[in-house]
A and B are shown apart, each in its own frame.
Chain A
Amino acid sequence: MNTVSSPAFDEVEQGSSLWHDAWLRLRKNKLALLGGAVLLFMIVIAGLTPWIAPYSYESQNLDLGASPPSAAHWLGTDIFGRDLLTQVMYGGRISLAVGFIATAVALLIGVTWGAIAGYVGGRVDAIMMRLVDILYALPFMIFIVLLMVVFGRNILLLFLAIGAVEWLTMARIMRSQVQSLRQQEFVEAAVSVGLSPATIIRKHIVPNALGPIIVYTTLTIPSVMLLEAFLSFLGLGIQPPATSWGLLISYGAETMEEYPWLLIFPGCALTLTLFSLNFLGDGLRDALDVRGSKD
């Protein structure tokens, strides 16, 4: 967002038109809109699950056992006679919650870290970013597995561990944003009227760096969800009686030969959500004209 120095009187209008332009561009991207719609649908379903799920989470019908999709059980039932649609809905709640909460953790740490490093600059910046470089080189996947083993399989720890991995890129993006924003006149003006650095970062810098942050956040959520599913698949993530899409896929894979629907439906739910998030993220990146935020 390198605004060309423009006359002061149309600053305000330019600020609002950036978002307006972005919306117009996003609206043309049908895939991104579809992704957003699917995502919204998933979130609403997840939010309403306790009220709209066809069966209660605990209910099972051992006599029925695993049955293929039918009128009574749209996605079939698992080997304990539990309704798969209900399972997928409850699993989605956890998968989505992990995705959003862990990303929020990453966002908070990354934005704060990057903003301070970029704003203060000098030696503080050098030390802070060197630390990020070192952490970048750590093989985190192995570390998360290790954390899960050492401290037990605790969902809160899972949020923290994943969040702690994903903040690094966010910090880098934020820092480079802040560095370029810091030299602009409106920041100098804010300094000259005596605002504290914390206020300047919060009120003037973060809102102007919002584009890349939004884009990167949208792209972080799917990678976080994938990480959770990966851990759950290995048996190191979400633990029963709670469930998640990763865990359902792992159960499904064990019995796929006889009951393929137990693998296919949870798999579809996860893939569809990841698909939507990626399309939405790509669309937002084009719409907000953010370069080099990921890959």
Chain B
Amino acid sequence: MLRFLLVRILQALPVIFVVITATFFLVRSAPGGPFDQEKVVIPEVRAALEAQYRLDLPLHEQYFAYLGDLAQGDLGPSFKYPGRSVNEILFAGLPVTAELGLYALMIALVIGVAAGVFASLKPNTAQDYIPMSLAMIGICMPSFLLGPLLVLIFGIWLDWLPITGWGDIPGDKILPAITLGSAYAAYIARLSRAGMLEILSQDYIRTARAKGLPEWRVVTQHALRGGLIPVIAFLGPAFAGLLAGSFVVETIFQIPGLGRFYVQAAFNRDYTMILGTTVFLSTLIVFFNLVSDVVAAWLNPRLRHQFRGGNG
């Protein structure tokens, strides 16, 4: 197990390094500098600004200086908002996005697993078809369509829930969380149904039934552990998707989170902010992929062997 963990961490490090390097050079190769604005800047001021942001150095020196700053956890100053550092902006947005993501993931897990397990108990009956058709709708309905539709129905026509903001009015977190979570609920429902169906057909389940265990105990104590491994393994990618999805949801509901800052930075061409956010989000995603891999391996020793035997 320790060896597995170690190998996995050693694999993650080059990924993060590639992300940092690729992002740095991509952003630096972008046409137009951050100070090419409407108003003309006095050459001296411009030189001072460029020195402050180290744009006067050769590219490779900028790169190593940036790596040095990163090693100390410093993402640099923002181009767009002088006087504010990227770190400050990120840590202002992170708690909001994390909270939104957490609620969405909870909704996705509870609804998805319940629907998937429920469907798997009576395959190819109405009990299977109805939740799985809903799941298909959930997968096909993109968040940027579902969000506005929910706002239209529950916020405007029925006037039950607030439609924008975050933590200002009670209930304003409900619609964003549902919007973000529904697609993942649908995926998780499909994954847990498939996983459960596979496990429920195994010999040890037949043994458990044969020794007279009641069906609910067969399901909860024997089948769930194996049947939900695909769901656990999906959590890492799901987290990555949730972060990307939060771009849209935060834009629709005007939530001051990371995703909204990222999109704003993209439009403002705030290069240090884009760079910092990309590096930060990527590291987070790589980290969560790592965690979900390790948890899945811990639940299923076979995965570890598969891992050692190369990629299957």
Contact = CB atoms under 8 A, between A and B. Distances in A.
Given A139-B281, A149-B266, A271-B145, A253 B311 contact: no
Interface stretch (B24-32, B66-74, B220-228): B24-32
Interface in B178-224: 187, 190-191, 194
Contact of B136 (A226, A256, A279): A279
Interface stretch (A13-21, A77-85, A86-94, A129-137): A129-137
Contacts of A274: 139-140, 142
A246 B12 contact: no
B18 interface: yes
Contacts of A142: 243-244, 262, 277-278, 281-282
Contacts of A148: 266
8 contacts: A126-B310, A138-B19, A234-B263, A257-B152, A263-B148, A271-B140, A271-B142, A275-B136
Given A230-B248, A279-B136, A149 B156 contact: no
A115 B274 CA distance: 37
Interface in B1-46: 11-12, 14-15, 18-19, 22-23, 26-27, 29-31
Given A142-B278, A274-B140, A150 B149 contact: no
Interface in A238-295: 246, 249-250, 252-253, 256-257, 260, 263-264, 267, 270-271, 274-275, 278-279, 295
Interface string A130-162: 000110011101110111111110000000000
A138 B26 contact: no
Contact of B274 (A139, A149, A256): A149
Contacts of A126: 310
B266 A295 contact: no
A229 interface: yes
B289 A137 contact: yes
Contact-residue bracket for chain B? 35 or more
B266 A257 contact: no
Given A249-B145, A249-B148, 4 more contacts: A133-B11, A139-B285, A149-B30, A234-B251
Nearest to A175: B311
Interface in B254-307: 262-263, 266-267, 269, 274, 277-278, 281-282, 285-286, 289
